[in-house]
Amino acid sequence: MSFRSSKIEYKTNAQILKMREAGLVLAEALDTTVAAAAAGMTTAELDAIFESVITKHGTTSNFKGYHGFPATICASVNEEVVHGIPGSRVLRDGDVLKIDGGCIVDGWHADSARTVIIGEADPADQRLSEITQEAMWAGIAALANARFVGQIGEAIDDFVSGQPGEPLGILEDYVGHGIGSEMHMPPDVLNYRSGHRGPRVKPGMVLAIEPMLVRGSIETAVLDDDWTIVTTDGSRASQWEHSVAVTMGGIWVLTAHDGGAERLAKYGVTPSPILT
């Protein structure tokens, strides 16, 4: 979804630290929700678990009430790519579940998503999730040395297209975004090569990097609830997302407990946290 003006918001160190507070609460909420996800549970039950964690920390959801969205997470199953509304759907063994959530601390936002496969995974679904997750990290790593935002999408596209085996599709209609005093802000962060370099990367920029990959066609449709995005061919999808700050020293993954250190090490990137 895209509800943004054109001006990029550059954050101060103090503002990024508030976003880090929100990011750590969000990481805990996603940890707890993912750990609870199991066959026999409803997506509404998972929403309640997520909400209980952010409420415990005194934070508020940036999803609930957003343009009328009724829940604190998006819970999208199998062919549902993103924006699925939690409800009475019962999870089954082998389901591919995308959990996307966010929270706010003192007016500053965090946004992150993970894919979890319920029970025993189809190897093709496991591959889909693993490639999507690593594509996200490839994009995040690219940001560390990027001159322009478009280089993130180039890195994601190169990683995905370079994988052996059955090709995966990269969604083009739904992309990453800036984040800060609002959940969705400029600039758009594409997950593919577009021929456009995008805005220049500058300290104070915070981006939600979120590749969405599918096992089939990238064509999508919106269900009658006006939210849930599905693949038109019924193919399964994966989504992974982190909120990442550009600091004077590099990048800092605000929604990862370790700031991204473990997953970025293979790319030769060390997170650059703000200490004061």
Annotated binding site for substrate: 83, 184
Binding-site sequence positions for a divalent metal cation: 100, 111, 177, 210, 241
Residue 42 near residue 87, CB atoms below 8 Å: yes
Residue 257 near residue 27, CB atoms below 8 Å: yes
Binding-site sequence positions: 83, 100, 111, 177, 184, 210, 241
Q: Is 208 exposed, middle or buried (0-12, 13-18, 19+ CB in 10 A)?
A: buried
Q: How many CB atoms lie within 10 A of CB 7?
A: 10
Residue that the structure tokens 């946290």 belong to: 273
Q: Which of 78, 101, 111, 128 is nearest to 229 (CA)?
A: 78
Residues contacting residue 144 through CB under 8 Å, at least 6 positions apart: 250, 251, 264, 267, 269
Residue 144 CA to residue 113 CA, distance in Å, equals 21
Residue 245 CA to residue 242 CA, distance in Å, equals 10
Q: What region does 68 belong to: left with phi over 0, alpha with psi -120 to 50, or beta?
A: left
Positive or negative, the CA dihedral 197, 203, 207, 211 is positive
